[in-house]
A and B are shown apart, each in its own frame.
Chain A
């Protein structure tokens, strides 16, 4: 049981780290650090870097939270720790 729970926690941490990686990528990397080179590309009428900073990161943030919720709901069931 204790070993199981450790595996549960490790998987959770892995999910969190991967998602936080995406979180940092869309906002800090695409939206700020690489905004100038990305602005050379266009998404419709939006310069790409500007779009990530203005809208793209917010949209990705929302999707990410729902993805995390569904991952954790199935993980909770797998390790039988759900409510």
Chain B
């Protein structure tokens, strides 16, 4: 059977599974809808959190990104896992004991202020919507690459599927589909990784494989990383394992970005909200551990895939005649994820630093004299002739490792699972922020249960349409707004939740001003640098890392203002005291 047939089968099967689970877990109460009835066992919450957290970008793009960055790519690995330590030690148990439905709920009650609630609400919606637009686009792209349907139709299909299980089952439906999606995506990621590790080093465990010796070929017996360092250096790139060299990020920048990603992760509302779904404080703690374990399975495999893919790419393509290039290269040329522009006309692929031509590849539809797909792009002055999209490192892996067609199809299903699970979690945050925090808590506290459920479902529908719109008409700055989501989560939610739990003296005024200063600074810097092309004027820190500085400003302002204003009311101080002790964590209530 062809790849296309297999893909239809795996995608069809997995989608039917998701819809079946959604039907089995449909809910009729707001508690079921917002926090899955607070009855999710810790280990399943861990799996669901892992699927919630790992997006299309983690699945498809991360390994490729690291492959091009070498050591510097570690900041994503450390940053996106280290946040779970903060969640387990500093946030999850206390938020679970507090026992409400959403993040703005905590902020509004702890800081006895509807203003703080509204600021938190706007942050939560903004962070989640920027994030979800990228996921919808990811769904469309996977559809178009593997199922040969137009990107926009793919986005619409994805919207319908998410609406079925998020609208029907709320958090309960989302949780159990995410558990299934985690299983699909991790299997889809590990099979090709194990195969390619065996292929290159003879070691089946990829995590060990990339530190082993090469099994065959001219470099047999040498350590893979040493060989890759030399290959990189010979081609004019920085050595793969070296740090802070020319053209690489500085130490301060890597420190700041890693920290911003860690606290940003710990401050993301769709991750925090998952810890409300477990039965008690003990499960909240341990489910952060399970979540990180399940995430680390993929996150320790990704750097191995990165190394294998880069070694393989340089070895089979660099300085080889185009007609001898492996078949996957020609197969993927039509997707414009890889391209070759023979600048010097020698029929060989020259690989060197720098972009080979201006912009992304535009095929003319004609073939060149060596059989390559011709491009209409304007060549650049450097000698590089090879264009490689970072996504290819994961997508073409099964073909590089010569795996059967059904594995290729499984990777497609895995990519879809990663994108859909993250999108659903984010959409629930948007839906519950509007229906619970805004409508029920502030506009109509007398609303009936039935009424509130209906509003929640409508709001999820609206949020899906907005996300779908941005998926079909992606704003030009989609890549830039990811920095926004993390920067804002780091500079707004993280400090106020930490202070709210660990410092009884933190006041309403301190919280509001801290959020405004932290977020204002971070937003201003990112906009200034990303959209107005300013240089990195704050100690050379890039937009991705500035959330660290914004977070520090938030902490400082909050401390000073809190000390200058009247201390919080007695009942708030008592509440802070009570969330410190696990006993008596009732199931979440709405008032």
Contact = CB atoms under 8 A, between A and B. Distances in A.
Main secondary structure of the interface of A (DSSP, over half): helix
A55 to B, nearest CB: 5
Interface residues of B, number: 51
Nearest to A53: B74
A35 B85 contact: no
Contact of B211 (A51, A61, A64): A51
Contacts of A49: 243
> Which 7 pairs, one residue from A and one from B, show the smallest C-beta to C-beta distance?
A53-B74, A45-B223, A65-B289, A45-B211, A50-B241, A46-B211, A81-B581
B258 A32 contact: yes
B292 A82 contact: no
Given A27-B82, A58-B77, A59-B296, A83 B585 contact: yes
B147 interface: no
B88 A44 contact: no
A8 B71 CA distance: 42
Nearest to A2: B577
B456 interface: no
B89 A68 contact: yes
Interface stretch (B128-136, B279-287, B388-396, B508-516): B279-287
Interface of B: 71, 74-75, 77-78, 81-82, 84-85, 88-90, 93, 207-208, 210-213, 223-226, 241-244, 251, 254-255, 258-259, 280-282, 285-286, 288-289, 292-293, 296, 299-300, 303, 580-585
13 contacts: A12-B580, A16-B89, A27-B258, A32-B258, A45-B226, A53-B74, A58-B78, A58-B299, A59-B296, A61-B84, A64-B85, A65-B292, A72-B285
Contact of A23 (B82, B582, B583): B82
Contact of B71 (A20, A50, A66): A50
Given A50-B71, A64-B85, A43 B211 contact: yes
Nearest to B242: A39
B89 A83 contact: no
Contacts of A61: 81-82, 84-85, 292, 296
B306 to A, nearest CB: 9
A64 B292 CA distance: 11
Interface of A: 5, 8-9, 12, 16, 19-20, 23, 27-28, 31-33, 35-36, 39, 43-47, 49-51, 53-55, 57-59, 61-62, 64-66, 68-69, 72-73, 76, 80-83
A69 B285 contact: yes
A61 B75 CA distance: 15
B251 A32 contact: yes
Given A23-B85, A45-B224, A72-B285, 19 more contacts: A5-B581, A19-B89, A31-B74, A32-B258, A39-B243, A43-B211, A44-B212, A47-B241, A54-B303, A58-B77, A59-B300, A61-B84, A61-B85, A64-B85, A65-B89, A68-B89, A69-B289, A76-B582, A83-B583
